[in-house]
Amino acid sequence: MVKSVTEELETLLESRIVFFDGGMGTMIQRLKLSEEDFRGEVFKNHPKPIVGNNDILSISQPEKIVDIHKQYLIAGADFVETNTFSGTRIAQADYGFEDLAYELNYEAAKLAVRSCKEVEAEGHGKKYVAGSFGPTNRTLSISPSVEHPENRNVTFSDLVEAYTEQARGLLDGGVHVLLVETIFDTANAKAALYAIDQLFETEPDLYPRCPVFISGTITDRSGRTLSGQTAEAFSTSVAHANPMALGLNCALGAQDMRPYLEEIAKTTDAYIICYPNAGLPNAMGDYDETPDITGSLLASFAKDGLVNIVGGCCGTTPAHIASIRKQCSRFAPRKRPVKPHADSMLLAGLEGVVINKLSNFVNIGERCNVAGSKKFCRLIKTDAYDEALAIAKSQVENGAQIIDINLDEAMLDGVKAMTKFCNLIASEPDIAKVPLCIDSSNFDVIMAGLECTQGKCVVNSISLKGGEESFLEQARIIRRFGAAVVVMAFDEEGQATTTEDKVRICERSFKLLVEKVHFNPNDIIFDPNILTIGTGIEEHNNYAINFLNAIEPIRTKCPGVHISGGLSNLSFAFRGMNLVREAMHSVFLYHAIQRGMDFGIVNAGIIPIYTEIEKELVELCENIIWNKHPNATEELLVYAQNHRGTAGPQKQDDEWRKESAEERLRHALVKGIEKFIVADTEEARLNTTKYPLPLNVIEGPLMDGMGIVGDLFGAGKMFLPQVIKSARVMKKAVSHLIPFMEEERQARLLAMGLDPTTEDESSMYNGTVVLATVKGDVHDIGKNIVGVVLGCNNFRVIDLGVMVPANKILEAVIKYKADIVGLSGLITPSLEEMVFVARELERTGHTLPLLIGGATTSKMHTAVKIAPKYSSPTIHVLDASKSVVTVSSLLDAVNKEDFIEEVADEYEEVREDYLDSLVNQTYVSLEVARANKFFIDFEAMPPPTPAFTGIKVIHELDLERCATYIDWKPFFEVWRLGGSYPNRSYPKIFNDEKVGPTAKKVFDEAQVMLKKMIDEKLIRGQGVFAILPANSVGDDIEVYENEERGEVKGILHGLRQQAEKLDKSEKFFCISDFVAPKETGIADHVGLFAVHCGEGVKDLAKKYEDEGDDYNSIMVKVLADRLAEAFAEMLHEDVRRKYWAYAAEEQFQPKELHRAKYDGIRPAPGYPTQPDHTEKRTVWDLLSATQNAGMGLTESFSMTPAASVCGLYFAHSEANYFSIGKISEDQVEDYATRNDWEMKLAERWLAPILNFET
């Protein structure tokens, strides 16, 4: 059966990295064509100048275009792009060729197809054509006039029409894929994608679906498109097109493009495409980056598993493509991940938003609604759009995650008003950063809003009220725009009022949307109708109950959907009685959120906190919402009448002002009251008995108040806008205290003899700390407090603010010579961004400590998810009060290493506990594990060549030298003597209050025994090691007789990790990964050793035992074990420095050796890296360990003498320790085959690591 193009390309993209061509414009410029050349014979008499219209050359100079295509194809490109970057009638209108748009695209496609066929005929393999859609010379998101930001010089419909024509020409000409590229305005790209999808859907016989590639352009190092979107927001905004490939091109060179490409890769399961410029242009507009440089930069992307398709853009020539292919071909392509955020709703304005079950409650700002706000309505009607925009901005500032826009009013032209307002919003980044909710009962108005919105927005709303046909038609259009949708619980019979009808209509709508329109369930928001209660009409009494009871069954029957509702409807019967209405809303929301309502169009700024409402009023609200008794309405009405005209925010209850300063501060923080915060903070500051320093006020009552806010937010009793109000109050209090803290700091410096005005600031501080709230998060109060606390303790704090991307954090670390970097975040998506920052710190070679803090962070998440990505210290800081201790410990030259070791040990325990707690640990097949193995580029990072090969015997160990390598920490552990930080390690353990004296006594006695054993030669050590030619073959390592590598002397068998990784990008390790594969032809080696300090130990221990001295009998054995480990450490150092000699200049102290600071590893059979004890037999045979070192193996593969150590040496700098964990039956079968064992024998030796019952 013949494969479709889609199937062909998917197979190709899974098998290897695929290569695009380079810059068509670059090659045309090299031809130095004149006006006459551009005209040719065809356009000899054209009335306008056409030089520079590269696209027209497909008609006037077709052979030159074919020649350029073929140069790229022969250089190694799998794809060529059609010469149609400016191929729309809109772009061609500048040259008077708008009527040739179809022909131009058709001819360009035919030329590209012809070029591919000719090159294929020459034996260069299968080639493909990508039909190029450029961005045009107009933009939907930016006005051509600074004075009139609402103006546009093109409409969405214009672009759809032009792109449809271009698509027809390209597809008729035979292209294989459609490429929407160099996107600087996502709205333009959405028009192209709309046109393509509409063409496929409406004319499937003429235009069957083909793959679509999408490539955006980050215009500068701000990390945004020209129209202001982040890479994440761009990816979210075009994801509805289901691109086969998604990525970036143009504008930046590869080096600057990387962080933004990684950002896209984190958001999509599409293949990743990247074709950068040849660096940035020089002053003359030329590109200086050589083919080798471009190739090496893209090869680093490929090495890290970041790309599937690579090529070049401006400035790249066939030589560049040849270099890119040569350097990238040796790497495996990026494996398509499981769809990121598969259980989340993704929305976007200029910035991306992730909404999932951890998002708490999503507040849709409701004040930009002409029906809900008299002020907003008046402003729109009087054309006061600047003031109307200010209302939208205030909604964002007050915590609205989405802005609802409703312009349905009888005296307004809804389409015109929606277009103008959305265009104006696009010019206001502070508003446009959040997604919009286009709200109208008129679908033409909804269309107008969608056509002006570059991000992924929400449509509010559609329903089955007009029947299925209308419902499906509107849903298809919404999906084509990529928007999410609110669906009202209406059908042909009207509004659903009962629980049963709400569930029935929502389930029916869900099936239509998912099965017929292919809507993503996560993009569906059901509004099951919050209806008015307390009307006096009996059938209305259960309306709140019916809504609440419908939430869970709807979410169960319609998995993935969200639930919303218009909250103001609930209390409409009590209009004018704001105190009661707001309380009803708060109580209702509390219950609705518990049941699964996760969206709401509310003015959260005036909703009281559930726990702060008067108890009597709460009870009355509960009664009417749950219809607890017939008089519920009447009782609430009486209460309302007694409190008519009062509302929470206006009510001035001064009782709380009579409390202590601490209680007043707490109250103000929880309620978000700014009025008295400065005076109350000052009162607390002046109480120097309680608060000797201004900092103590922050660490005391202010932090206590914010702790209550955090608890209420976590319990769903406060909403994000209310938390933001509290944070503002906190910020005001802290701002008041800062000058006093600065005075105190300067006085302290003067007392130390330091001048605070000195030019060299660094000499005044204890260290420099860079702090940032990570990208995607705008919450900074906790970070700000940490900054203040550290500043008061004489640390230099560089606060980068909020929404800080990883590359900016890395730049600041270098710029300010930071000693420590701290990351903060409040919302759950921040956690993944912290993981990414840690990975980037590791990739770029940083070694400074990383601190993690914020409301959603935890020690467990830090230990399990973040710390493994960064080899330097990564520590969770619980709150601001702990930051000084942590930072001071990390910068303490004396205790730093002990502190780091203490945390590392603790986090290792946390990780182990977490993994042990996983009830359903999943495993990948051996095939999948091998496909995702750890990869070393041995060509770029060749293995070190040893100075010595062969076997070397140590007949007599220098015990005196060996003793200097002893690691005493395990010695004390044997005697159950464990110190506490900072006195855990030797020799600090002697200072420990609990075990110090005993430890010192035992140690002194050990020194006496050790000296006796050495001086009187009571024990003796021997050993043997070898460095032998070797290469990996799959999961095994072949060890050769000599450098000719023809005769296999022995095989070291490896086991591979199979436990599914928490981070899907992580690799599955095996020891063979650290040795160059045989097929590379690269000569590599492996080391082996076996050593002991056991001769004489048995007799000496027995002597003491016979004398009844069990203590010294044990001491002899313990010291022999320590000497054997020290022998292994000492010999490994000799191998690194002298025999393998890849670290000849290495100078480590014993303590650094014990912490494995060196390159290379020495894993032992029977331990986590290779848990099979039988591998010792191969080590013994290769070393002739019995003959050369007097060592033996028992039937169970224990070594004799008891004080023995054996293992392997791997010298490559990328080699690292890992744990195999549990393995599956398929690997055991494979391992048995490789060892020529029966399955039962394999199960016996591998029993401790099997994940199945035998």
Q: Which residues are designated catalytic? A: 777, 779, 830
Is 953 within 8 Å of 1188 (Cβ atoms)? yes
What values do phi and psi take at 577, rounded to 5? -110, 70
Instruction: Write the DSSP string, 1241-1252.
Output: HHHHHTGGGBSS
Question: 133 CB contacts (<8 Å, ≥6 apart)?
Answer: 84, 87, 88, 163, 166, 167, 178, 179, 180, 181, 192
CA distances from 393 to 240, 333, 361, 400 (A): 28, 44, 20, 10
Give the three-state DSSP class for 176: coil
- H-only helix segments in 16-134: 24-31, 35-39, 57-60, 62-75, 89-92, 101-121
| Residue 862 backbone zone (phi > 0: left; psi -120 to 50: alpha; other: beta) | alpha
**What is the C-alpha to C-alpha distance for residues 887 and 889, in angstroms, rounded to an integer?**
5
Is 497 within 8 Å of 472 (Cβ atoms)? no
Nearest residue to 744 (alpha-carbon basis) of 789, 810, 803, 808? 789
DSSP 4: P
Is 287 within 8 Å of 314 (Cβ atoms)? yes
DSSP 285: S
Per-residue burial over 1079-1104, b if 16 or more Cβ lie within 10 Å, else e, is: eeeeebbbbbbbbbbbbbbbebbeeb
Strand partners, 460: 439, 486
Strand partners, 931: none
CA 545 to chain centre: 40
Is 517 within 8 Å of 523 (Cβ atoms)? no
Is 183 within 8 Å of 115 (Cβ atoms)? no
Give the three-state DSSP class for 360: coil
Question: 667 CB contacts (<8 Å, ≥6 apart)?
Answer: 656, 659, 673
DSSP 933: B
- Give the helix/strand (H/E) hosting 989: none
Type of residue found at 456: K
Decide: residue 1023, CB within 10 A, 0-12 exposed, 13-18 middle, 19+ buried: buried
**DSSP β-ladder status, 271-277 and 309-310:** parallel
C-alpha distance across the termini of the chain, in Å: 43
Nearest residue to 1129 (alpha-carbon basis) of 985, 1017, 963? 963
Per-residue burial over 964-991, b if 16 or more Cβ lie within 10 Å, else e, is: ebbbbbebbeebebebebbbbbbebbbe
Is 405 within 8 Å of 436 (Cβ atoms)? yes
**What is the C-alpha to C-alpha distance for residues 1219 and 207, in angstroms, rounded to an integer?**
53
Instruction: Write the DSSP string, 41-61.
Output: TTTTT-SS--TT-GGGHHHHS
Type of residue found at 255: Q
Cβ count within 10 A of residue 375: 12
Type of residue found at 978: G
**What is the C-alpha to C-alpha distance for residues 1071 and 221, in angstroms, rounded to an integer?**
40
CA 370 to chain centre: 39
CA 449 to chain centre: 31
